[in-house]
């Protein structure tokens, strides 16, 4: 259900390399959310760094939306990058799992391709 990659690299290095690796694979970073900062700004105790990246491959997104516009509720793909003890964790829900909920078997190949690309981006960021 999840793709999880762990590394001992610094959070700053992982975040920078994630953005570079995404661009290299034709994924745009549509948004970055500093969840920990937002929670703390609301007066809530949250002692780890936690970011959510929204990424999208426009060609795949168009194909998915042309097939079933309701799949837009699951877009863009989100990758969490957070600290866990001395490690940085990159984690996402598998696109194959997400798309399976919509019952569109013609998109299975697209889901597998996007999943492989996102996993590759995550692994590259962790190297």
Is residue 88 within 8 A of residue 10, CB to CB? The reply is yes
pLDDT number for residue 127: 95
d(CA 80, CA 62) in angstroms, rounded, equals 23
Number of structural domains in the chain: 1
> Where do the H-state alpha helices sit in 1-127?
11-24, 35-41, 58-67, 95-100, 108-126
User: What is the tens place of the pLDDT at every residue in 29-83?
Assistant: 999 999 999 999 999 999 999 999 999 999 999 999 999 999 999 999 999 999 9
Mean pLDDT over 76-100 rounds to 97
Whole-structure pTM value: 0.95
pLDDT number for residue 19: 98
CATH number at residue 55: 3.30.310.70
Is residue 89 within 8 A of residue 6, CB to CB? The reply is yes
The CA angle 1-37-3, to the nearest 5 degrees, is 15
pLDDT number for residue 9: 98
- Radius of gyration over every alpha carbon of the chain, rounded to an integer in angstroms: 15
pLDDT number for residue 56: 97
């Amino acid at each position: 259900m999840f793709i999880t990659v762990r590394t001992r690299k610094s959070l700053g290095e992982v975040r920078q390399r994630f953005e570079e690796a995404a661009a290299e694979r034709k994924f745009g970073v549509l948004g970055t959310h500093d969840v920990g900062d937002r929670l703390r700004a609301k007066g809530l105790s949250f002692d780890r760094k936690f970011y959510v990246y929204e990424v999208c491959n426009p060609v795949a997104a168009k194909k998915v939306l042309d097939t079933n516009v309701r799949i837009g509720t699951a877009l863009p793909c989100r990758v969490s990058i957070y600290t866990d003890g001395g490690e940085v964790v990159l984690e996402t829900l598998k696109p194959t799992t997400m798309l399976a909920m919509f019952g569109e078997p013609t998109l299975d190949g697209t889901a597998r391709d996007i999943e492989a690309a996102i996993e590759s981006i995550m692994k590259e960021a962790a190297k």
